[in-house]
Structures are given as C-alpha cells and as structure tokens.
Amino acid sequence: MMSAPRLEIDLRKIYHNARTLVERLAMRGISVTGVTKATLGSAEIAATLLEAGVKRLGDSRIENIEAMRLAQIVAAMTLIRSPMLSQAKRVVLSTDVSCNTEIEVIKKLSLEAQKAGRNHGVILMVELGDLREGIMPDDLLDCVRKTLSLPNIDFKGIGTNLACRSGVSPDNKNMARLSALASSIEATLDLSVEIVSGGNSANLEWALSGAEIGRVNDLRLGEAILLGCETLHRQPIDGLHTDAITLCAEVIEAKTKPSKPSGTIAQTAFGEAPEVTDRGMVTQAILALGQQDIDPSGLQAPTGIDVMGASSDHLILESDSLKLSVGAEVIFQLNYSALVRAMTSPFVSKVMKPATTVPSDF
C-alpha cells in the first residue's frame, strides 16, 4: 500500500505541458523561465522542465534554489522575488540572476558578489498597475544607472508582474509600456536590454493572442505548466493536461449523519460556523487530510462527492450515491493554493510517475 495522503505527480504530463508552452511561445519569440516555487524545488520536476526546453529556472525562495543546486540541477537560476538583505550572500552564491526593486539590496548583492569573486545578474522589476513589487516607471532609468555603476553586478533586463495582487490583466497597453521602457533604456544609456520578462501564467492569453509582442522575450511560468490552466479565468489551456498532479487521501470514517448540527452554535476551529440547512440524513465521510495539508476550497472532488469543510486534520465529504468506506482512497484535482500547501506539507508524500526512485514502503 502506498501511503496517504499523497500527491501523484505525472512527470510525462508536466513535460507535455511545458514542452507545448515552450513551443507555442517560441513561435512568438518568447522563451520560458520555468517557475518551480510551487514544487518546493523538486529536482525531478526541475529536470523535467529543463528537458522540455525551458531556458532557465525561477523560484521565489532561495531555499528551493539551494535544494535544486544540491540535487545537481544544472541550469541558469533566477530568484524571482526581491532578495532579503539578510540572504544576499546566499543569493549571490546560488543564483545567477535575481529580480530586484531596491537599490539598497542591489548594493548588498554587489558587495557579496565582490567578496565571492562572482558576478550577479539583475533584472529590475517595474510597477505597471498591479501594485505588488516594482519600481515606479519614472524611477526606472535612474535605478538602471545606479545598477550599472555597481561592481560585479550585470544589468540583465527588466520585468513586470501582473495579476497577482490586484488581478490586473496583461494587455497591449501595459505590455507596450514595458517594451517602451526597454527601448528607452537602450536609447538613453547605449546598452542592450537582454531580458524583457513580461510576466507569469496570466500573460499567456495575451502572448498567444497574436498581439504585438514588442520587446517581451521571456515569461515566467509555473501554474500553467503544473495545472494546465491560464490564470486570469482559470480555464484549461487547449492541449494541456489539467491532471498532471492529483491528491489522494484516505477515508477514516464513513457514517450516515444528520446534515444539521445540534446544540448551541458558536465558532468552529477556523472561525465562524457556516450556515447549514437541514437536508435530512446524509452520507458523510472523513478523510485524513486537513487545513495543514491543503486549502479545502481548492480541492475538486470526483463527481458525486462534495467537500463540506475541513479542520486542521479532518476533511468532511458528503456523497449521495457513491459509497465511501473506511480505507477507500479519494482522488482530487487541486487549484494553486491547494497544490502549494500540499507540496509544503511534510504529511503529504510526493509520488513521481514514472518513479525516479523506489518508494520507501514499496
């Protein structure tokens, strides 16, 4: 028996998704940075992305990048979150490039790069409306100038990130703005801007729409590769697998119970109690899985099964026709937040298909 809960990760499907996006974007002159942050720096997944043709790997956490380096993953690696001052040394030692928005941080990277006898590449992130990270466009040129003056720092290009904090969609207008900024840096400072990183999975709709791509030559893709969907409307992408990663959990209780709780209702383990209507007796099952392992609202159960709620360690299901018995396994598809939590939970084992190693309980 394989242990539960577990993520089943189909590397062939991930390869197919990555390869398909790499090919479609190549026709638009755009390369792919494969983003590994949702996989906790999995070496197997990283290797699969590289085989599929991503040009470099990107992760938001230095710990994940260090783990991939330790696992002998050979690739250009970009830290896609602005480095912490306190981690500047580790960033210089383990990554080739980092995305930055603060000159103070770049100065620290420069110092650490000098000490280490290395060069470090810098992409400057620009704020284009989503109001997460980014230098205000009017301040960009000044920041490029300062970056260019720092020893052991190579200015690599510019980038932007949309649709994460405020859901601002990448479109012709904000992407043209990014291109114009790249061109104006080149014209003013007489240099070439090598990387113009247009955004994340939310950029695919724009990038593949036949729009004028301008200077954009890189996208940083995570979710679209792993889950096969675009991220503006969370629709499946044509030709991609949406079940490359599934979650399997085990039933620990199966009973017929009233649908309506009895007694005085106060708060639940995670806050307010939900409104419940009396639907008579229902077929309820409990899985050994909880808030510690997944985001319950991000689970897609098989047809005929509904996720009713979760506390730390119990996931409550109702099924009308389907009989779930103790010991049975239920397989879910996951959204990004459920995936990230499951990947991060030490209680959820990760099973790669095809197996790269023999499972310990085989």
Ligand X SMILES: *Cc1c(COP(=O)(O)O)cnc(C)c1O
Residues 159-196: b if buried by 16+ CB within 10 A, e if exposed: bbbbbeeeebbbbeebbebbbebbeebeeeeeeebebb
The three-point CA angle 353-227-22 to 5° equals: 90
Identified catalytic residue from 37, 55, 107, 260: 37
The number of angstroms, rounded, from the C-alpha of 81 to the middle of its chain's C-alpha atoms is: 12
287 is a site residue for ligand X (CB under 6 A): no
3-state secondary structure at position 328: coil
39 is a site residue for ligand X (CB under 6 A): no
- 314-319 vs 305-310, strand pairing mode: antiparallel
Residue carrying structure tokens 């990283």: 46
The stretch near ligand X (CB under 6 A) out of 215-223, 237-245, 258-266, 276-284 is 215-223
Asked if 32 and 54 touch (Cβ cutoff 8 Å), the reply is yes
Least distance from C-beta 176 to ligand X, angstroms? 20
Asked if 224 and 230 touch (Cβ cutoff 8 Å), the reply is yes
161 is a site residue for ligand X (CB under 6 A): yes
34 is a site residue for ligand X (CB under 6 A): no
Taking the least distance from each CB to ligand X, the nearer of 35 and 287 is 35
Residue facing ligand X at closest CB distance = 222
Cα–Cα distances in Å, from 173 out to 126, 168, 213, 290, 296? 14, 12, 11, 43, 37
Least distance from C-beta 355 to ligand X, angstroms? 26
DSSP 183: H
- Known catalytic membership, residue 37: yes
Out of 205, 223, 230, 293, which residue is the one contacting ligand X (CB under 6 A)?
223
Site string for ligand X, 78-97 (x = CB under 6 A): --x-----------------
Q: Which residues inside 191-210 make contact with ligand X, applying CB under 6 A?
A: 200-201
221 is a site residue for ligand X (CB under 6 A): yes
Least distance from C-beta 222 to ligand X, angstroms? 3
143 is a site residue for ligand X (CB under 6 A): no
224 is a site residue for ligand X (CB under 6 A): yes
Q: Is the peptide bond before 296 cis (omega within 30 degrees of 0)?
A: no
228 is a site residue for ligand X (CB under 6 A): no
37 is a site residue for ligand X (CB under 6 A): yes
Cα–Cα distances in Å, from 116 out to 74, 90, 134? 20, 10, 28
- Known catalytic residues? 37
Q: Which residues bind ligand X (CB under 6 A)?
A: 35, 37, 60, 80, 161, 200-201, 220-224, 231
